[in-house]
Amino acid sequence: MAEQKGLPSDDLKSISDRIIQLSQADHCRVNIDSGWRGYTRVATNRITSAGGADSTNVNITSVFGKRVASINTNSLDSSELEAAVRQSEIMARLAPESPEYVPELGVQSYQPVQAYYDSTGELDPLTRAEAAAIAIQQAQASDQIAASYMDVQAGTSTVATSNGLYGSHSNTGVAYTLTSRTVDGLQSGWAGDEANDWNNIESQRIANDAVRKCASWRKTRLDPGKYTAILEPTAVGMLMLRMRNAFNQRTADEGRSYFSKPGGGNRIGEQLFDDRVNIYSDPTYADAEVSPFTSEGQARGRQSWINSGRVEDLARSRFWADQLDQQVLPGPSNLIMAGGDNSLEEMIASTERGVLLTRFWYIRGLNPRIISYTGLTRDGTFLIEDGKVSRPVTNFRFNQSLVEMLQNVEMMGPAVRVAASENSSVSTPIVVPALKVRDFNLSSVSDAI
Amino acid sequence: MRLSTVAAAAGILLPSPMPVAAQSMTSTEQELLLHAIDAARSAGADYADGRIIRTQFEAIGAREEMITQVQSSDAYGINVRALVGGSWGFSATQTMTRDAVADMAREAVMIANANNEVAPSETILAPVDVFPDADWVTPHSVDPFDISLEDKAALLLRINEEALRVNNIRFSSSSILSVKEERLLATSEGSMVRQTLFRINPSINITAISPDGSDFQTRGAVVEPAGRGYEYVMGLELASRAEGWAEEAAMKLEAPPVDPGKWDLVLHPSNLWLTIHEAIGHPTELDRALGFEANYAGTSFIYPPEDVIGKLQLGPEFMQFVGNRTEFGGCATTGWDDEGVPAETWPIIEDGIFVDYQTTREQAAWISQYTGITRSHGCSYGQNWETMPFQRMPNVSMLPGEEDLSEDDIIGNTDRGILVEGRGSYSIDQQRYNIQFGGQVFWEIRNGRKFQMLRDVAYVGRTPEFWNALDSIGGASTYYLGASFGDAKGQPIQVNAVSHGCPISLFRDIDIINTA
């Protein structure tokens, strides 16, 4: 087994122990992130940047009564660490009391999560360059221009408190995405994968898919309007990444969320979505694994948010749970939307008139009262007529409530891990199906390619 | 001539004042950096540059009557960028020993070699003067890190208290983020540049809830970040103005929804600056135009260079935009960029016509035959010690009109329109054609006067038509510098802070939608 990236576990524990030993505060918490990031970026059919760096960051939180402050440093020698501890204590003494401070946690138990894959941790610059070369060669062979990015991260996060808690979690992640465009700039296609395990990144398939999609997408006119839309998994994932933020009980209880009940309270328990909608988080989900604890050291387990269209629960911070005398419920770590058994081909074949969407861009919130977002389609938008993809069409802006989208589900595909981040970096693991939905609001034409 | 005359009249783009504070980077750090550059050259780099960067943040936040965040961070490390053949390699480390930095420099060369073997390319660096002993510090009179947390906390709590006095205001949050970047740059050509950059971001967000709990509205983005010291925050009089912003949040609960359709649009600079950022700043980035951001931030409708430089009419004759890294208070203002190119100001749109892009040393030669400019405009920047510098947006500002029209003059010229204040939701496509921007506060204008507040407004359009719909602009007295700390680009994503100045502006017949 290869040596893991980042400082060895014993060193991380020693640093934590030393800081807690140095602490003169009533309470102290130490969070350390230690790891490595490597990347290779391609544009105009050449590698434009590639690099890597090891880094270790230490965050120290000091508490006097209810006065709290934290400091982050990457200077690890003994005197610098001691200076950081003293500085955090000076800041904490100066800080006004925080009425919402909840005492640091003591010893916790966490479920085991194996999220570190040597295949990813040992991914070297030459292997990354070889994957880039596949894309460049494939694009050149079709008179296209490749732009790609591979982001690789590996390391360990720890949490420790002066009440005896210690947790350590190692993780890897790799995201690889490719945009291929024609030389005249009039066509564009995209494909991408994200995984914890490099073995699940299919460089050749990504090159094939992006180049094929580019070759098939040369836009033609289509009027904006509400369409039956088939969203490929990446498009669904980019929206669900935003939906995650709404699962918060406090904002609901405070009257500033879709999940607020008019007149007070929240809508936990209400049937608000299509009964095929099931959304949950699970730190152990295969190849979408995440840490089994939060930065405060709170344990995370499998948690349902939407169960058969009904709001199962909303996240509660330790303070809010205390106020309500309820269980703490950490927010979504990864997000999994259970899939169905409809293939993309079946969705297309069942559609008399609709659009097929590859992915989105520049998604921004519009109205939190209905969880609506705006954004634009990108890198492959097609018209479906009489059960077949009839022609590529222009890109569109959408203005769409995600609530309505999840109420208008017609068909679902199998759930898969997607590269849901717009910048294609390793991000929150998102596992979602392709969806066929009614009345997706494509509000205006975008001339962009 | 015309650009400089107008700029001087507006009191902007003035030469940067001399440094006012001592630099903290030491001769030991200089030696370490030169050691890394030497190691890269010895390992076969044709060119190398490197940086030692210390970035300090301090954030303090409050919610209603409590302090919710007191946090600081300090990140320190060294990097080297090496050129082998035409390919770059980059590496960085936080271990500041001679052996570690030499290993790091050799790794940068190894990566450059690997890239050059797999996909060889050509890179020509534009000429630059050598600055062997250069210094620059953001002009400021009060170092934000010298102001105590207690004083900052007291200000935030007072802001929230003032806001919460207003009926239906249930929540108020406020924060101050202070940034200090100490940067030491060395190049294998012989430049050595020490700089200390300050930025500060005061922020307030106020939420009103209707008495029956059926609706909520917010007022945020009330003031701007700036590349200045704490004296900027002290001059904003935040506590005394908080009640006014809170009243606007409460008024939004009662405001009628906008009727969608064509309206004249008066954009206050507190809103227009972000439209400039998205619809002038980004499409005039040369790397974006030429496909270097195709996999993320996108490309540009201002393309290809040979067809658009000096030819593309983007707006009326009185519309002038400059790129600059010199504007007082600008978040992208600096002395030298990350390649040792001195800060400058240059025209991007002159008399309504696009004339030049934003460039780095590598990029200048790509368009010099069309612009006649062989040197970089100094737009290279890396976010911190562990990120590779690349082309980032400078301050991009619209110059005020020669005639000093006031806000009242501009509103007075509008029979049926909407005045938009503050940045709201914003989205634009990957070639910067399709825009949809909201705001914070919307005022219906009737017969040349503000009539009533509206809600749920967003303006939409196609960028070239939008700028060509510009009817008139305010004078120097309406000039205002907006800014963002969060301009994202690149893979790995890097964040850049940037400012955009502009006067109040009137656009005719713009499509308005209702976002409710």
CB B262 within 8 A of CB A116: no
pLDDT of residue B4: 43
B111, B425, B426 member nearest A50 (Cβ) = B111
B273 contacts: CB under 8 Å, gap ≥ 6: B224, B423, B480, B481, B482, B483, B499, B500, B501, B502
B4 contacts: CB under 8 Å, gap ≥ 6: B13
Give, as one character, the DSSP assignment of residue B86.
Answer: T
For chain A, the structural domain boundaries read 9-214, 219-449
Other beta carbons within 10 Å of A102: 15
Would the CB atoms of A44 and B431 count as touching at under 8 Å?
no
The residues with which B137 forms a beta bridge, in sequence order, are B196
Distance from CA of B134 to the nearest CA of A (A): 27
Alpha-carbon Rg for chain B in angstroms: 24
pLDDT of residue B250: 98
Other beta carbons within 10 Å of A197: 18
Confidence tier at A52 by pLDDT (50, 70, 90): confident
d(CA B474, CA B505): 6
This complex has an ipTM of 0.90
Residues of B in contact with A189 (CB under 8 A): none
B interface test, pick of A5, A74, A93 with most B CB neighbours within 10 Å: A74
Would the CB atoms of B295 and A424 count as touching at under 8 Å?
yes
Q: Which residue has the tokens 């780099």?
A: B45
Please name the residue of chain B whose CA is at the shortest distance from the CA of residue A51. B90
Distance from CA of A50 to the nearest CA of B (A): 6
Angle at B503 (CA atoms; ends B501, B505), nearest 5 degrees:
125
Counting residues of chain B whose pLDDT is more than 70, the rounded percentage is 96
- The dihedral region occupied by B168, where left means phi > 0, alpha psi between -120 and 50, and beta the remainder, is left
d(CA B221, CA B211): 24
Cα–Cα distances in angstroms (integers) from residue B273 to residues B281, B399, B409, B479, B484, in the given order: 10, 12, 20, 11, 10
Residues in chain A: 449
Please name the residue of chain B whose CA is at the shortest distance from the CA of residue A191. B295
Q: Say whether B251 sits in a helix, a strand or coil.
A: helix
CB A381 within 8 A of CB A416: no
pLDDT of residue A1: 65
A337 contacts: CB under 8 Å, gap ≥ 6: A236, A240, A277, A278, A279, A415, A431, A432, A433
Q: Rounded mean pLDDT of A226-254? A: 96
**Token code pair at residue A186:** 């009039």
d(CA B57, CA B176): 10
Q: Any alpha helices (H) in B333-393, and if so which ranges?
A: 361-371
Do β-strands A46-64 and B87-93 pair in parallel, antiparallel, or remain unpaired?
parallel
d(CA A381, CA A374): 17
Would the CB atoms of A369 and B215 count as touching at under 8 Å?
yes
Q: Rounded mean pLDDT of A303-313? A: 98
Residues of B in contact with A319 (CB under 8 A): none
Do β-strands B47-63 and B169-187 pair in parallel, antiparallel, or remain unpaired?
antiparallel
CB A89 within 8 A of CB A62: yes
Supply φ then ψ for residue A82, to 5 degrees.
Answer: -65, -40
What residue ranges in A46-92 does DSSP mark as E strands?
Answer: 46-64, 67-73
Q: Which residue has the tokens 């610098």?
A: A80
Q: Which residue has the tokens 């496909």?
A: B291
Would the CB atoms of B216 and A255 count as touching at under 8 Å?
yes
Can you give the pTM of this predicted structure?
0.92
Distance from CA of A447 to the nearest CA of B (A): 6
Q: Say whether B17 sits in a helix, a strand or coil.
A: coil
Closest by alpha carbon to B399, among B333, B462, B332, B350?
A: B350
- Sheet of B395-398: strand order equals B353-354, B345-350, B321-324, B395-398
B471, pLDDT greater than 80: yes
Least confident of A14-23, A42-51, A143-152, B430-439: A42-51
CB B123 within 8 A of CB B371: no
CB A68 within 8 A of CB A96: no
Residues of B in contact with A60 (CB under 8 A): none
Q: Rounded mean pLDDT of A387-416? A: 97
Average pLDDT, chain A: 96
Confidence tier at B22 by pLDDT (50, 70, 90): low
Would the CB atoms of A71 and B434 count as touching at under 8 Å?
no
CB A155 within 8 A of CB A33: yes
**Token code pair at residue B448:** 């040349």
Would the CB atoms of A75 and B74 count as touching at under 8 Å?
yes
pLDDT of residue B118: 80
Could you name the CATH architecture of A9-214? 2-Layer Sandwich (3.30)
d(CA B378, CA B364): 10
Q: Say whether B335 sits in a helix, a strand or coil.
A: coil
**Token code pair at residue A191:** 């494909």
Residues of A in contact with B91 (CB under 8 A): 51-53
Residues of B in contact with A94 (CB under 8 A): 70, 148-150, 153
pLDDT in tens, B56-76: 999 999 999 988 888 999 999
Q: Is B450 exposed, middle or buried (0-12, 13-18, 19+ CB in 10 A)?
A: middle
Task: Give the up-direction half-sphere exposure of residue A282: CA atoms within 13 A in the CB hemisphere.
Answer: 14
Distance from CA of A98 to the nearest CA of B (A): 6
The dihedral over CA atoms of B388, B322, B438, B409, expressed in degrees to the nearest 10, equals 160
d(CA A370, CA A403): 7
Q: Which residue has the tokens 């569109």?
A: A396
Distance from CA of A69 to the nearest CA of B (A): 5
Task: Give the up-direction half-sphere exposure of residue B184: CA atoms within 13 A in the CB hemisphere.
Answer: 21
**Token code pair at residue B197:** 């950059």
Residues of A in contact with B67 (CB under 8 A): 95-98
Distance from CA of B262 to the nearest CA of A (A): 15
Counting residues of chain A whose pLDDT is more than 70, the rounded percentage is 100
Q: Rounded mean pLDDT of A397-408? A: 97
pLDDT in tens, A91-116: 899 888 888 999 999 999 999 999 99
pLDDT in tens, A213-222: 999 999 999 9
pLDDT of residue A247: 97
User: 3-class secondary structure for A298-332?
Assistant: CECCCEEEEECCEECCCEECHHHHHHHCCCCECCC
Would the CB atoms of B292 and A72 count as touching at under 8 Å?
no
pLDDT in tens, B364-400: 999 999 999 999 999 999 999 999 999 999 999 999 9
Confidence tier at B77 by pLDDT (50, 70, 90): very high
Residues of B in contact with A58 (CB under 8 A): none
Closest by alpha carbon to B430, among A448, A434, A291?
A: A448
Would the CB atoms of B430 and A49 count as touching at under 8 Å?
no
Would the CB atoms of B149 and A91 count as touching at under 8 Å?
yes
B interface test, pick of A31, A45, A48, A151 with most B CB neighbours within 10 Å: A48
Max CA distance (Å), chain B = 73
Cα–Cα distances in angstroms (integers) from residue A48 to residues B73, B90, B94, B363, B376, in the given order: 31, 11, 24, 12, 18
Other beta carbons within 10 Å of B142: 16
Confidence tier at B26 by pLDDT (50, 70, 90): confident
Q: Rounded mean pLDDT of A271-298? A: 98
Closest by alpha carbon to B150, among A107, A69, A8, A182?
A: A69
A51, A76, A181 member nearest B89 (Cβ) = A51
Please name the residue of chain A whose CA is at the shortest distance from the CA of residue B207. A256
A175 contacts: CB under 8 Å, gap ≥ 6: A149, A150, A151, A192, A193, A194, A419, A421, A424, A425, A426, A427
The residues with which B198 forms a beta bridge, in sequence order, are B180
A interface test, pick of B118, B158, B292 with most A CB neighbours within 10 Å: B118
CB B434 within 8 A of CB B483: no
d(CA B316, CA B350): 10
A37, A100, A376 member nearest B434 (Cβ) = A376
d(CA A181, CA A104): 52
B119, B216, B290 member nearest A47 (Cβ) = B119
Cα–Cα distances in angstroms (integers) from residue B423 to residues A352, B183, B270, B272, B301, in the given order: 41, 31, 6, 8, 24
Distance from CA of B278 to the nearest CA of A (A): 11
Would the CB atoms of B66 and A372 count as touching at under 8 Å?
no
d(CA B141, CA B275): 31
d(CA A316, CA A252): 11
Confidence tier at B10 by pLDDT (50, 70, 90): very low
Single-letter residue type at A423: N
